[in-house]
Structure 1
Amino acid sequence: MSGSPLRSRWSLDPEITFLNHGSFGACPTEVLQAQTELRARLEAEPVRFFARELEPLLDEARGALGAFLDADPDDLAFVSNATAGVNTVLRSLQLSPGDELITTNHEYNASRNALDWAAGRMGVKVVVARLPWPSPTPQAVVNAVMEQVTPRTKLLLIDHISSQTALVLPLHEILHRMREQGVETLVDGAHGPGQVPLSLRTLGVGYYTGNCHKWLCAPKSAAFLYVRRDLQAGLKPLSVSHGHNSPRRDRSRFRLDFDWTGTHDPSAVLCVPLALRVMGGLLPGGWPALMADNRAKALAARKLLCERLGVAPHCPDEMVGAMATVGLPDGYPLEPSPPHYLDPLQDRLFFDYKIEVPITAWPKAPQRHLRLSAQAYNSHTEYQRLGDALEALLR
């Protein structure tokens, strides 16, 4: 399929042009093999693994992740995905009727549902900041969010990189302004780690949750929740377990609560250090070079498709990471198909041209766009193939 020479490091279907890394990621074969070996080690002697070996293995994995994120490992907890991280924080909030929670109209649907559910239980109000679209600017995004802050605002839930629109939001400025207003912050960073540089030590966020299975390319069910030290005492995992009343004094209650929430398969998170090494070793410049190369690839692909379709870019280059959106003309049948409500054009691209790329009605039908991803295994030829298919289908 004329992909990158690095594609051989993955077990992706060779018949498919896979331009949708952003949805579920894709794990290198070497990492998947290591996960298989870990599972075999677990099943060979489960008591030895869980009771004697797991804790130091988790410490090692958390240490590697902390170094990558520029965070104290003791401020990190492993969770199954970013949605679980968002729910963990929201279910631990203690608010009063009349308080307000802010989010944006670009927030990921699952996280927005969790916010609405939590707000309904507590009798508080969800306030939605409407970000300019298309043609946003970083300052316009900051202004749109800050305009919604009132003395009743207690928390901001915001994406690092929007799933629907692939916008890299100006987090540093927004979080700085929120701190000035005394508002706590929860960042849904599902797409952040590994797509853009990230230092949790300097970001100044209260809570940050991110996936390791997307741009870090760890196995599925590997994600983390960062909690600032002064907020940890008020947080509990979704499953309260033995750590709640453990008499141990050698580890924090936060650590005891989150490291054991019941029997589960920990192999995905234990593979995070290897995933970091494998991905960081793909290019001579390591992770900085990989992130820069993926971003350059996404920008070049966006330029190519915009020119082929005769549309303008949705946002300035500075708001693009390793994903980008391209507007599509109205007029193609818009009724989604079951079972996952995929756009008909997305199905046509997949079944007729063997191209996997997501298409979204945004902000509502008939307006829509495609969201392309750029990972090490992708090549410019694949985006050209996508352009050919779109021209044929939309002609």
Structure 2
Amino acid sequence: MMYNDLKEAFLLREDVTFLNFGSFGATPKPIFESYQRFQRELEYEPVQFIINKGPEYLKESRERLGEYLFSHPDNLVYVPNPTYAVNIVARSLDLKAGDEVLSTDIEYGACDRTWEFYCREKGATYVRQTISLPIQSKEAFLADFWKGFSEKTRLVFISQITSATGLILPIKEICEEAKQRGLLVFIDGAHVPGHISLNLTQLDADFYTGACHKWMMTPKGSSFLYVKPEHQDELDPLIISWGYQADYPSHSQFLDYHQFNGTRDFSAYLTIPDAIDFMKMNDWWGVAESCRILVRKWLPKLCDLVGSEPLAPVTDEFIGQMGSIPVRCGNPVELKHILYNEYKIEIPVMVQNNQVYIRYSINAFNSEEDLNILEKTLKDLKKRTLIF
């Protein structure tokens, strides 16, 4: 369905200023209705849906997603979220005592915990290389990052768009340099699909995970793991189920091992073609560009208001549809509650490396008025010395 006013496409509460699309996305009505149709079909005939029709629907969905991401569909498997995908790879990777996984100190916390856990089990080291903020240039970031490399480095794990800091990182250059150094590369692209363009074939990472339930707007719990063919058989299933050493194996061990994890409702995965159609019908790349312009227009102003500065040059190279404002406050958890309960603003307050960030996201339903509200709220919070 095509909308003249895209705000009408979403189910979000009208009394809340929603500036937190980055956390869990929000699903437009036509995609949500498709989701419910699949769920009803599941309940009409659960056995036929799960055993026969469901796998065919999954295949069709992966084919559409493969076209969208420029990947062969058999190199993609659906997972509930990117953290699940990171666990599959981290658990399976043949790390030895003394090996190192090179990352940054601005990664998503759940992924940090995953790598710390599996590296500790295997006697390896997870290296959180310090990134100087604010980033001055792409070259400065790359110089910072590669300081963490050593002869023990086996894998690079890095976000394409970071979570707390909301920054687009130069992943293409990281992949190219890593290949020259003989390293595996795993990209956390949780915020990428539907946010900025992604061509998995050109990027040539060994592993890539992305969320469809964020910027692609599918229902919650729909993400993917991409694995280059030469690594697929190296990955053990995170959940041992009927696909492991299957009685009737398919053409792909990768799909057998990771696609079916026992009884569950996988309807969210099946709506991905609907999400792609919705974006195409509503000129989503044009919408995204308008949102990025709004984010970049306001980021310097909001940072200046609280006495900080943007975390990178305010350009398309580093800033997409999210802007993170460094602030100082005594109690970030309390600040988050105050923003929602007193000011009716849904916005994350994040802490990373002892720095607090208020991160705003802009999507089709947002307007300049939402950022005016945020500006007035920040001024009021300063008067109340809740930020200083």
TM-score, normalising length: structure 1? 0.92
Letter in 1 for 2:339: L
Structure 2: gaps of 5 or more residues: 384-388
Q: Which residue of 2 aligns with 1:326?
A: 325
Matched residues in 2 for 1:145 and 1:262: separation? 40
Q: Which residue of 1 aligns with 2:343?
A: 353
Q: Does 1:300 align with 2:297?
A: yes
1:139-183 per-position Cα deviation (integer Å, ceiling 9, x unaligned):
122112222222211111111111010110100001110010111
Q: Which residue of 2 aligns with 1:13?
A: 13
Matched residues in 2 for 1:125 and 1:267: separation? 38
Matched residues in 2 for 1:77 and 1:307: separation? 44
In structure 1, the residue corresponding to 2:357 is in which secondary structure?
Answer: strand
Matched residues in 2 for 1:250 and 1:262: separation? 17
Q: Which residue of 1 aligns with 2:265?
A: 265
CA drift of 1:305 comes to 1.9
Letter in 2 for 1:288: W
Q: Which residue of 1 aligns with 2:197?
A: 197
CA drift of 1:68 comes to 1.1
Matched residues in 2 for 1:327 and 1:138: separation? 20
Letter in 1 for 2:35: Q
Letter in 2 for 1:321: G
Q: Which residue of 2 aligns with 1:390?
A: 378
RMSD: 1.6
CA drift of 1:250 comes to 4.8
Q: Does 1:179 align with 2:179?
A: yes
In structure 2, the residue corresponding to 1:378 is in which secondary structure?
Answer: coil
Residues 193-342 of structure 1 correspond to what in structure 2 (within 5 A)?
Answer: 193-248=193-248, 250-282=250-282, 286-309=283-306, 311-316=308-313, 317=315, 318-328=317-327, 330=328, 332=329, 334-336=330-332, 342=333
Q: Does 1:378 align with 2:377?
A: no
Q: Which residue of 2 aligns with 1:339?
A: none
1:114-151 per-position Cα deviation (integer Å, ceiling 9, x unaligned):
00000011111122211111234221221122222222
Letter in 2 for 1:363: N
Residues 238/166 of structure 1: CA separation in 2 closer, same or farther (3 Å cut): same
Query: Which has the larger displacement, 315-324 or 205-214?
Result: 315-324
In structure 2, the residue corresponding to 1:244 is in which secondary structure?
Answer: coil
Letter in 2 for 1:353: Y
Residues 214/326 of structure 1: CA separation in 2 closer, same or farther (3 Å cut): same
CA drift of 1:192 comes to 1.2
Q: Does 1:111 align with 2:111?
A: yes
Matched residues in 1 for 2:351 and 2:91: separation? 30
Residues 244/320 of structure 1: CA separation in 2 closer, same or farther (3 Å cut): same
1:57-115 per-position Cα deviation (integer Å, ceiling 9, x unaligned):
00111011111111111100000000001001001111211111111100111000000
Residues 151/7 of structure 1: CA separation in 2 closer, same or farther (3 Å cut): same
**Is the 2:25–2:214 contact (alpha carbons within 8 Å) kept by the matching residues of 1?**
yes
Residues 99/308 of structure 1: CA separation in 2 closer, same or farther (3 Å cut): closer
Matched residues in 2 for 1:46 and 1:136: separation? 55
Letter in 1 for 2:180: E
1:262-314 per-position Cα deviation (integer Å, ceiling 9, x unaligned):
111110000111112113322xxx33323322211211231442354454322
**Is the 1:217–1:279 contact (alpha carbons within 8 Å) kept by the matching residues of 2?**
no
Matched residues in 2 for 1:86 and 1:93: separation? 11
**Is the 2:244–2:257 contact (alpha carbons within 8 Å) kept by the matching residues of 1?**
yes
Letter in 2 for 1:264: R
CA drift of 1:245 comes to 1.7
Residues 92/372 of structure 1: CA separation in 2 closer, same or farther (3 Å cut): same
Residues 96/308 of structure 1: CA separation in 2 closer, same or farther (3 Å cut): closer
Matched residues in 2 for 1:51 and 1:179: separation? 41
Structure 1: gaps of 5 or more residues: 337-341
1:30-81 per-position Cα deviation (integer Å, ceiling 9, x unaligned):
2111111111101111111112201110011101111111111110000000
In structure 1, the residue corresponding to 2:340 is in which secondary structure?
Answer: helix
In structure 2, the residue corresponding to 1:141 is in which secondary structure?
Answer: helix
Query: Which has the larger displacement, 303-312 or 78-87?
Result: 303-312
Matched residues in 2 for 1:70 and 1:301: separation? 33
**Is the 1:18–1:355 contact (alpha carbons within 8 Å) kept by the matching residues of 2?**
yes
Counting aligned pairs with the same residue, the percent is 33
TM-score, normalising length: structure 2? 0.93
